[in-house]
Amino acid sequence: MTARILGLSLDSADFQENPGAKNAGIFAALHRRFGVVGMVSPTFSRAEQAARRLLHFHPDRAVWRRRYNLHPRTFLRRTALIERELRARDGQFDWIVQLHAQFAPGRGGRPYVVHTDNTYVLSERHYPAWAPLRGALRDERVRLEREVYQGAAFLYPRSEWLRRSLIDDYGCDPARVIRVGGGANIRAGSLGGKSYETQTALFVGLEFERKGGFVLLRAWDRVRRALPRARLQIVGEPNRWGPPPEGVEWIGRVTDRAELAALYSAATVFVMPSLFEPWGHVFYEAMGSGLGCIGTDNCAMPEIIANGRTGMLVPPGNVAALGDALVAMLGQPEQARRMGEAAYASVVGGHGWDDVVERMAPALSGHRDRHPD
């Protein structure tokens, strides 16, 4: 009998109604392999959400948002909302598949697994701006996360970098922590007709500073001196920092998947020199579009980009190394082609969402008998 999957996520978008939604890929693949019987999300009323946000007010909106989302009270309230939904659905599913640990999957001892890309401890260690809680609040947040992780039948981290944190920082059983990777949300049907002659670098990402955007802008002057016709396209945040340097086209937000796919298709190389990147699914989008990628040699990025084969890795914050990597890839079309084709083959050969689900499948196929007592 095929397992019946119930999806839990902060993103309430239905993967069938909105296949372009952020988390649609994994649930669509789970539906193809098993059957997703429903999606549940902890949804506050507008009045409650406004009241709760006021409790965590901070003049910096980014800090405010993180404090609100990570506070133990928010976690517990989301868990209570989830429990109410799950009680109404008991008996209709065999497994809960939850994305991340922003709440617990109820309190009823239901069998569940967690697919995730980061932990609070990793944020605290590598990028403190993402870990605003201190003292007792911080300890409570980590305790709540630990309960979710240790209560899961299996944990499916995207990276080995995260797998080690779940084992070392949260005390999870290594046998139940299985690295499964992530999938490409955009993938070209083929690379037929793709050109690598345009000297176009593409950056896609929100949180411009964390993604290494300012490092990239400083490196771009070095690129333009070597390659006067090189062009950089920036997708993500609107430009709030004044006129961009020569050769930079600041596109801003792109929500249409077809438009984004066209930008990938027209580029020569993808670049996102993140200072902190727990995963970075956009690398697989770029690779699935035939682009070699430039990232940094920290966090999970070395597990995605094979240095010298599917792209290049540079030290985070190193302007000179980043500029040299861009010049090397933009200025040598055959190298860009070789890396782009290798990147595409890598995605086609095991980095789609269906591949991720196949790595999850052996445990999920066992139904409840695989859930720990």
Rg, C-alpha atoms of the chain: 21
* Same domain, residue pair 312 and 243: yes
In a 13 Å sphere around the CA of 44, the CA atoms on its Cβ side amount to 16
**Domain that includes residue 173, residue range:** 5-183+352-370
* Same domain, residue pair 260 and 300: yes
State the DSSP H helix or E strand holding residue 95, giving kind and residue range, or none if neither.
strand 95-99
* Same domain, residue pair 79 and 222: no
What pLDDT, on a 0 to 100 scale, did the predictor assign at position 1?
59
Side chain identity, residue 212: G
* Same domain, residue pair 153 and 209: no
* Same domain, residue pair 125 and 224: no
Dihedral sign for Cα atoms in the order 276, 280, 282, 283: positive
What pLDDT, on a 0 to 100 scale, did the predictor assign at position 58?
76
What pLDDT, on a 0 to 100 scale, did the predictor assign at position 12?
61
Side chain identity, residue 335: Q
Taking a C-beta distance cutoff of 8 angstroms, is the pair 147, 104 a contact? yes
The tens-digit pLDDT sequence of the chain (373 residues) is 589 999 999 876 678 777 767 788 999 999 999 999 999 999 888 888 788 778 777 787 777 788 888 999 999 999 999 999 999 999 999 999 999 999 999 777 899 999 999 999 999 999 999 999 999 999 999 999 999 999 999 999 999 999 999 999 999 999 999 999 999 888 888 998 899 999 999 999 999 999 999 999 999 999 999 999 999 999 998 999 999 999 999 999 998 889 999 999 999 999 999 999 999 999 999 999 999 999 999 999 999 999 999 999 999 999 999 999 999 999 999 999 999 999 999 999 999 999 999 999 998 886 444 333 3
State the DSSP H helix or E strand holding residue 6, giving kind and residue range, or none if neither.
strand 5-8
What pLDDT, on a 0 to 100 scale, did the predictor assign at position 370?
39
Please report, in angstroms and rounded to a whole number, the separation of the first and last CA atoms in the chain. Answer: 22
What pLDDT, on a 0 to 100 scale, did the predictor assign at position 372?
34
pTM of the full structure: 0.92
Q: Is residue 259 part of a domain?
A: yes
Q: Is residue 269 part of a domain?
A: yes
**Which residue(s) pair with 203 in the sheet?**
234
* Same domain, residue pair 221 and 243: yes
Picking from 300, 291, 297, the residue whose alpha carbon sits closest to that of residue 346 is 291
What pLDDT, on a 0 to 100 scale, did the predictor assign at position 109?
84
| DSSP secondary structure of 305-331 | S-BTTTEEEE-TT-HHHHHHHHHHHHS
What is the C-alpha to C-alpha distance for residues 58 and 336, in angstroms, rounded to an integer?
45
Which residues in 109-181 belong to E strands, given as ranges? Answer: 112-116, 154-157
187: CB partners within 8 A, 6+ apart? 285, 288, 289, 347, 348, 352
* Same domain, residue pair 69 and 208: no
How many domains does the structure of the chain reveal? Answer: 2
* Same domain, residue pair 164 and 131: yes
Angle in degrees, CA 330, 227, 338, rounded to 5:
15
Taking a C-beta distance cutoff of 8 angstroms, is the pair 296, 307 a contact? no
What is the C-alpha to C-alpha distance for residues 195 and 242, in angstroms, rounded to an integer?
32
- Helix then strand count (H, E) for the chain reads 14, 11
Q: Report DSSP state, residue 244.
A: P
* Same domain, residue pair 204 and 221: yes
Picking from 142, 139, 120, 137, the residue whose alpha carbon sits closest to that of residue 129 is 120
Q: Give the CA distances from residue 23 to residues 65, 241, 248, 259, in Å, rounded to whole numbers and listed in that order.
A: 20, 30, 30, 19
Picking from 220, 261, 214, the residue whose alpha carbon sits closest to that of residue 242 is 214
* Same domain, residue pair 209 and 92: no
135: CB partners within 8 A, 6+ apart? none
**Which residue(s) pair with 249 in the sheet?**
233
- CA 296 distance to own-chain centroid: 16
- Domain of 104: which CATH number? 3.40.50.2000
